[in-house]
Amino acid sequence: MNKNVLLLLAIVSGLLSCAPEEPTDLTQNNVIPKPVSVTATGKAFRLSEQTKIYVQAGSNLEATAQYLQGKLTPATGFQLTVEAVSEAPSEGIFLTTTNDPELGNEGYALQIDKKLLTLQANKAEGAFRGIQTIRQLLPLSIASSSVQQADWMIPTGTIRDFPEYEFRGTMLDVARHFLGAEDVKHFMDLMAYYKFNVLHLHLTDDQGWRIEIKSWPKLTEIGGSTEVGGGEGGFFTQEQYTDLVNHAAERFITIIPEIDMPGHTNAALASYAELNCDGKATELYTGTEVGFSTLCTDKEITYEFIDDVIGELASLTPGPYIHIGGDESHVTKKEDYIPFIERVQDLVYAHGKTMIGWDEVTLAKLDKRSIAQYWSSAENAKNAVQQGVKVIMSPAKKAYLDMQYDSLSPLGLHWAGYVEVDTGYDWDPVKLEKEIGRDNILGIEAPLWTETVTNRADMEYLVFPRLAGYAEIGWSPTEGKSWDEYKVRLAAHGNQYDTWGINYYRSKLVPWNK
């Protein structure tokens, strides 16, 4: 053998020895929220130019497969075709339905072998949730919008996963400061990555009315014309709102619209004089104080107004819920507040929707189908339990995304305290109040109020990285939960945020990757 051949063999051997090793342990992943169960088989599935995405014929998973294709193509540069098949292929990615009661509507099972990755789910939404896990199992550069050079490997093994709570939401206040349709879609895309299934839109408040109501056009003409600090405000047309609803549905997210009442209503009171007890329109408001406004609960026109608003909103909203607010109505007398809530509750059900209200609504007699959102008063939340009403857990001291991380945070408030990343993660909805048990809890929601949020970057800073922790509280089992373990997985997600260009808070408590 001549020297040239020996030299070539040495070079090839050196290159091979420097090649990255296959991942060997699927259990060592950075998936958020943490899956229910993971087993590893020590090899790797490779995504390549030859990989095809197969979908079971007649399974209604083709749109989900197309979504996966759209998420994998930009960074890999691979032209991953989607093909319907009647039988399982021997290689590639295969999306298929199953009949597995444990998985429920949103659960999924991943079987990852060297040649074939199979994603099974009972429903399309379960397959969609599983796709988020596939995205997180691939190298971090899969998040890039341009072609990257990487060995696109996933460790082999199995994952079985399903949510702890059926309701896993976040709220976006577009009333204090208006955030437009593209910002809301961006927010939904990030929610979907973490398997959230509810977006609560706080559409009206003292500072702005953000949804077009055709039968009451001055609500947006006048009430939508400003915001906190005196900006120009804005609103969603009904067509824009429908577009948001459709965008959400494609990601298996339910939109819950909120029309806050009888307080937090100055934008409406400034738009229509007849909604005021004295028949005089109020001045538009651009401050941040709360509790000073109220609809006139004695006037019949008030209920005609509410019926029209709920009716139009219900026709635009395919989801089952309408949120009526009900919080901080300090100038509404209790003897007026209670019958008001009960009458508005009836209007919501008359339009075929389920009523949700902030925890103050439990002062009234609630329909057992109604839902109370615990944000402030444990006593109110206990009232809900005593009435047989389900509770959404949104305790401000733990779950409010608008709370500052610490005293140096440039954005946010701190009336409920500071909520560092570990504080937002390290709590259990079941253990918060002993009278509120697991059977009483529908799920959790992390609200973002926007007194200090003026744009997308502000929104991102307060939401990330805390949103990932709320996703895990809502989805993952509590057994074995540990901040010390979670913060390592979260650190890897910082690379995703960097790639996406997200303005996130780099907490010193998290060992971010350099």
Active site residues: 328
Cα–Cα distance measured from residue 442 to residue 452, given in angstroms and rounded to the nearest whole number: 30
Which two tokens mark 493? 């997600």
DSSP one-letter code for 360:
G
Neighbouring-strand partners of residue 151? none
Alpha carbons 121 and 65: distance in angstroms, whole number = 13
Amino acid at residue number 84? A
What DSSP designation does 254 have? E
CB 169 within 8 A of CB 392: yes
* Helix, strand, coil abundance in the chain, percent, nearest 5: 40, 20, 45
Q: How many C-beta neighbours within 10 Å does residue 189 have? A: 13
* Other Cβ atoms within 10 Å of 182 Cβ, number: 9
Give Rg (Cα) of the chain: 25
Would you call 111 helix, strand, or coil by DSSP? strand
3 state SS for 142-207: HHCCCCCCCCCEEEEEEEEECCCCCEEEEEEECCCCCCCHHHHHHHHHHHHHCCCCEEEEECEECC
Distance of CA 268 to the CA centre of its chain: 28
Which parts of 297-439 are beta strand (E)?
321-325, 354-358, 371-374, 390-393
Stretch (H or E) spanning 84:
strand 82-85
Report whether the peptide linkage leading into residue 465 is cis, meaning its omega lies within 30 degrees of zero. Answer: yes
Tallying the residues shown for the chain, one arrives at 514
